[in-house]
Amino acid sequence: MSTELNAKTPAWNELEGRVLDGRYVLEKCRLTAGNLAVFGTKSIGQEQSPGVLKAIALEPDEAAKQLESWQAVQKLRHPNLIRLLHAGSTEIESIPVVYAVMESIDEMLEAVLKERGLQKEEAEQIAGSAVNALEYVHSNGFVHAGLEPKNVFAVGETIKIASDCIQFPGEPLRKLPDGYEAPEVATSGLSAASDFWALGAMLFEVLTQRAPAAEAPVDTAGLPKPFSEIVAGCLEPNVVSRWNGRQVRTALHPAPSPMAAPPVVPERPEVRRPLAPLNSVSPHGITERQAIHRSPTWIYAILLLIAVFGIAWYLISRPSVPKNGATIKTAGRPHVTQTPETPHAAAPSGRPAPVASAQSRVASPTGAAAPPNAVSDWRVVIYTYAREADARQRAHIINSKRPGLQAEVFSPSGGDSPYLVAIGGWMDRDSANRLRQRAIKSGLPRDTYTQNFRK
C-alpha cells in the first residue's frame, strides 16, 4: 500500500467540521501525507473527544485489505497498544476512504527526538513497552509492521505503540522507512523477526537521533550498555540468529549474579592457659578455691532477679478482662491498617516486597481509617499486566514521579496473574470514584477504573 499522493485524494484540510460516515465529527486536521490524514474527532452526541481518526483514500482492493486488518485488530487489548475503537469505510466527494478511530495520545516520540535524544533510562522504558506489545501482537497471529518513532506515543504515564499499522504476516501494506525494513522482507515478507529488526533500528535512532543506514552495518560501539548488545542483536541479518523478545528482555533486566561467598577467616587457634594451683592468690586477693565456693551464691541471686522480672512483666502486659464476664465486641467489619508497600522495595531479608492480595487491607488515600460501617473493598486500578515484573516496574516509575499516589502491585487471585497496578490503597466506593477522577485529570490513563474486590 502506498501513501503517495493519489489523483483522487480529498482536500483534507477543508474537511474540518464535517461529519464522517454519519458518526464522527472531524475536528482539527493534525496531519496530512498524500492520501492519508489524521484528525481529532468525537462521536456525535458526545462532548468529550474519544481520540483521533485516521483516514486513507485507497483503491477498492487495497481498501478492502486495510479494512480487514483494522477490523481484526479491534479485538486486541494490551496496556502498551493504542486501542483501535472502530474501523469503517465511506466515501468523501465520491472518493472511497477507509478510516480508523483510536484513543487519544498525549505525546509522540518523533516530536521528542526532534528536540533531543533519549536518556538510557527513557530508552529502557521504550524498549520494555515495545517488547511487551510486540510479543502480544505476535501471539495473536499478527505482525506490527510499523515500529518507528512516529508510531510510539505517551498516553498518561504509559508508553504505547500504534495499532493501526498491525497486519497479517506476509506482503507489507505500507513501505517502511529506510533502515527499518529487514533484508529478508523483500523476498519472504513481514514476520515477527522483521519487527525485532525494526525495534533495533528504532532504539539506535532514539539514542543517536539518526536513523540507521539502509545498507551499511550499524556501529553500536558508542551506545550505552545494554543497548550496544540489543541493537546489534536485533539488526542481525541472519534471521535465525536475530534476537527475540526474550533475549531483549533478559538484556534489559539481567538476573542478579549469585552473591559472592564471604571470605574465609582463618580460625584462631585456641590458647589454653595453664591452670593455677588451687591455693594460688588472684590479683584481687581471693584464691581460686574461694572463688569456686562463692560462685553458687551469685548464680542463685541472678536466677532470683530473672524470676522477679518475669513475674512483673507478666502482670503488667497481660490484657485486662472486663468485669462481670462481659464480652468485648467490635462494631462492623475488622479494619487492618498496613503501610503501603512501594514496588521494588526490598523487605529486611532482601527479598522483593510481596504483592498485595485481595485479603490485605490498606488505609484510605487520606491516611485515615475507613469508618466502621464503610465497605472498604474498592480499589482504583490504572494498569493490568500478565507479568509481575512489568507491574512492579510500572508501580516503581509512578512512585518515583508521584509518591503521593501510593502505587502498588495487586493480585486479585492472591499472587497469580493478572497483576494490577492500583493507587491509594483500599477505600470505599465514593473515595475510589473521587480518586479515579483526580487521577485521570492528572494525566493517568483515561481507562483507569474502580472495582469492588470483596470476596
Q: Angle 227-234/120-139 helices, nearest 10 degrees?
A: 30
Do the beta carbons of residue 250 and residue 244 sit within 8 Å?
A: no
- Range from 80-84, 155-159, 255-259 carrying the lowest mean pLDDT: 255-259
| Region 166-184 average pLDDT | 88
Confidence of residue 169 (pLDDT cuts 50, 70, 90): very high
Q: How far apart are CA 97 and CA 91, in angstroms?
A: 5
Contact 117, 206 (CB under 8 A): yes
Write down the pLDDT at residue 49.
Answer: 59
- Mean pLDDT to the nearest integer, 84-94: 92
d(CA 191, CA 182): 10
Q: Are strands 51-57 and 36-43 parallel, antiparallel or unpaired?
A: antiparallel
For the cut 60, the answer to whether the pLDDT of residue 211 exceeds it is yes
Greater model confidence, 41 or 340: 41
Contact residues for 52 (Cβ-Cβ < 8 A; gap 6+): 30, 38, 39, 40, 41, 101, 102, 104, 105
pLDDT digits (tens, 9 = 90+) for 8-58: 789 999 999 999 988 899 999 998 988 999 999 988 876 555 689 999 999
Range in 24-28, 48-52, 98-102, 347-351 the model is least confident about: 347-351
Residue 412 above 50 pLDDT? yes
User: Strand, coil or helix: what is 121?
Assistant: helix
Q: Is the pLDDT of residue 263 over 90?
A: no
Q: What is the mean pLDDT of residues 365-375?
A: 42
pLDDT value of position 368: 36
Contact 386, 417 (CB under 8 A): yes
Our CA dihedral for 134, 140, 145, 146, rounded to 10 degrees, sits at: -50
**Average pLDDT for the chain:** 77
Task: Determine if the peptide bond prior to 212 is cis (ω within 30°).
Answer: no
Full set of structural domains in the chain with CATH:
12-103 (3.30.200.20), 107-252 (1.10.510.10), 356-452 (3.30.70.1070)
Confidence bin at 98 (pLDDT 50/70/90): very high
**What's the CA gap between 213 and 233, in Å, rounded?**
16
Name the DSSP letter for residue 210: S
pLDDT digits (tens, 9 = 90+) for 275-327: 333 333 333 333 333 433 444 555 666 777 777 767 766 665 554 444 443 33
More confident position, 2 or 399? 399
Q: What is the C-alpha to C-alpha distance for residues 24 and 278, in angstroms, rounded to an integer?
A: 107
Unique residue bearing C-alpha cell 468485648: 328
Which of 102-116, 197-211, 266-280 is predicted least confidently?
A: 266-280
Q: Is the peptide bond before 177 cis (omega within 30 degrees of 0)?
A: no
Question: Is-above-0.75 flag for pTM?
Answer: no
Q: Are 252 and 226 in contact (CB under 8 A)?
A: yes
Q: pLDDT digit string (tens) for 374-389?
A: 457 888 998 888 788 8
Q: Which residue has the higher pLDDT, 33 or 245?
A: 245
How big is the chain, counted in residues? Answer: 455
Please say if the pLDDT value at position 401 is more than 70: yes
The cell numbers describing 134, all together, are 510486540
Q: For 121-154, how does the pLDDT look when each residue is reduced to its tens digit (9 = 90+)? A: 999 999 999 999 999 999 999 999 999 999 999 9
